[in-house]
Structure 1
Amino acid sequence: MASGFKQLVLVAAILMLPISLSFAETAKEIDVSVDVTLERFNKEIPGADSFIKKAKGVLVFPSVIKVGLGIGGEYGEGALRIGGKTVDYYNTMAASIGFQLGAQAKSIVLVFTEEGALKRFRDSDGWKAGVDGSVALISLGMGDSLDTINVKEPIVAFVFGQKGLMYNLTLEGSKFTKLER
């Protein structure tokens, strides 16, 4: 059973290889895409601007592509910003098994609300959501804003599709690894 799972993960990694190679963006390209994503985030989420300003750090993935044909994988590159300045670049990868067909793009904004969580993330050699720390996905109801909800989790995430904030998703199993740029 374990070797079968390892084989499936290997196949998913091989399927993702062309995707990851095609992404290999420069630092400048990533920064420009992060700026655009944060502008959209601030525009679409009430209270986002002040929430981001209070954050200890913000990790932004402008485009995470998920491709699946029975076995799926996703990949994206982004930047970690502290005090509004890019300090590091990261990629995110995840594999999944189950019925899936097609491709999907999404943007992810992870907000570190506590210094300790940010330090553990930065000190890790590949950080996995759900293993190295939990990530709370935030969903806002009608009339809610980030000013009116009480966020207590050390790491919160927002996931966007083409039509805005996406719900009922998980980042569990997503791995975040520092890139050399």
Structure 2
Amino acid sequence: MKNLYLSFVAFLFLVGNAWAQNSAKDQRIIEDAAEAKAAFLEQDPSLQAFFDDSFGYIILPNVGKGGLGVGGASGNGVAYQSGSMIGFARMTQVTIGFQAGGQKYSEVVFFEDQAAFDRFKSDKIEMSAQVSAVAAASGASANAKYVDGVAVFTLTKGGLMYEASVGGQQFKFREN
């Protein structure tokens, strides 16, 4: 009986520890997303219209990208609907073509309507080369348009990447 009790206590400790680690990681992603949003708006204040008018959006504050011939990128972020946080997002990307280097950037993906946002939430959003990201700069959002219900903006944080490649981003949604 004593062994059963000790096993149960150890199990509760492990579960609690794993939950605390996930909770701390999620909290850091939330904080980083808020900082990234501020950086996007500082770079281009007219992006506020996208934040205000979109049905929903995700902010990926720390995307890492690298490649040499074959490349990849990934990042975690926060999903918002009507300005309120509803969950978390994970982005992965694979590219093939001429590319060399590494880069770190932030990305915000706006969804024009409920149909586009629902595709994201059901893990059915895969952005191809046809949906190109707009580099956030003063006034860049003024001419940006939604393509298939999605508009993407990036803000480079560091690194250097030479690229002429084709690939796509895939998203996974986890409810809060």
Q: CA deviation at 1:169?
A: 8.5
Q: 1:1-181 counterparts in 2 under 5 A?
A: 26-124=25-123, 127-130=125-128, 135-138=131-134, 144=139, 146=141, 148-149=142-143, 151-153=145-147, 154-162=149-157, 172-179=167-174
Q: Unpaired runs of 5+ in structure 2?
A: 1-21
Which protein is richer in strand relative to its size?
2
Q: CA RMSD in A?
A: 3.1
CA–CA distance in structure 1, aligned partners of residues 85 and 116 of structure 2: 18
* Structure 1 runs (4+) greater than 4 angstroms displaced: 168-172
Q: Secondary structure at the match of 2:52?
A: helix
**One-letter code of the match for 1:82?**
Q
Q: What's the CA shift string for 1:151-175, capped at 9, x where partnerless?
A: 3531100011138xxxx98895111
Q: What's the CA shift string for 1:57-103, capped at 9, x where partnerless?
A: 11111111012244322111111111222211111111223444432
Q: Is the 8 A contact 2:96 2:166 kept in 1?
A: no
Equivalenced residues, count? 149
Q: TM-score, normalised by structure 2?
A: 0.69
Q: Is the 8 A contact 1:52 1:58 kept in 2?
A: yes
Q: Is the 8 A contact 1:93 1:175 kept in 2?
A: yes
Q: 1:29 to 1:175 in 2, by over 3 A?
A: same
CA–CA distance in structure 2, aligned partners of residues 97 and 152 of structure 1: 25
Q: 1:46 to 1:106 in 2, by over 3 A?
A: same
CA–CA distance in structure 1, aligned partners of residues 174 and 164 of structure 2: 25
Q: Secondary structure at the match of 2:61?
A: strand
**Aligned residues: percent identity?**
22
Q: CA deviation at 1:137?
A: 2.8
Q: Secondary structure at the match of 2:168?
A: coil
Q: Secondary structure at the match of 1:47?
A: helix
Q: 1:138 to 1:83 in 2, by over 3 A?
A: same
Q: Is the 8 A contact 2:133 2:152 kept in 1?
A: yes
Q: Unpaired runs of 5+ in structure 1?
A: 1-23
Q: 1:152 to 1:30 in 2, by over 3 A?
A: closer
Q: TM-score, normalised by structure 1?
A: 0.68
Q: CA deviation at 1:116?
A: 1.4
CA–CA distance in structure 2, aligned partners of residues 64 and 140 of structure 1: 15
